[in-house]
Structure 1
């Protein structure tokens, strides 16, 4: 067992588009389910990461309906469940890095929500920790984002732009390889 699939924050709260805004990649959840099924069939570990927000009024608050895992993975018995309240799965409980290291796992494949937030942060940290990282881009999704930035004013990016930027930065920066679900499933069938 040398690799693990890490599913980041595939939670019901992300269906609330009134809260999050416009999203992209409606195939995300189906692609995550396909990857989980392939990993399970191959006897490889699936790690599920759940965000328990500590922010007042967050739809991801522990115990809320939005905190629950989405149907596509709700019945999965993961090799490990990591609970976090920050962007990186490596700052959750139990300690993901210690768990992977203890099992000799040197490769992680990431998927989930949000591409440019928790998935990207986890990918960057995994790369910095020395893991061989792959992000299944079409098994992620994110939301349009607008914020005021000092010196730039109001900055807006669409979900598609944010996904492309995350992919560019992760692969171009040497943090991760970007792949599609089909590529990963094809590679799975060849092993």
Structure 2
């Protein structure tokens, strides 16, 4: 009987802790290509200077990364970046599970009409987004000197390129400089 009382007390206190967690709140929204592709960035479960982040589209909400631990980030910043013709990308960067800045670029692919993501990790935040005939790419200045090249470019399907020149936009393409980070 005593064990049942202790177990009931533990369950009640656990439920109280779970109920005491503040709800996730929307901190950013971005229409990638119209309202049917609107993404919402949600933040909740504060701990010291970090929060757990989720991404939501329509009625589906999931952690930004694999689980709550991997999605717990600090110094997180986001930008809804216009890449032209009422098309945007959502760029999220912050300190998540490594000593590097990690981030994700969300975009809607025009051919399959699905939302895709480009993940990256670097010592600094990205400086540009390149939008062209292929899917958007994220461009970093190589401040960590992991490479002899000046710029590091991340694209879909784990595409990665090191180069000494920024891409030169052709007709219909654009190189968008990102706003400064706080």
TM-score, normalising length: structure 1 = 0.24
Greater Rg, structure 1 or structure 2?
A: 2
Larger relative contact order, structure 1 or 2 (CA cutoff 8 Å, min sep 6): 1
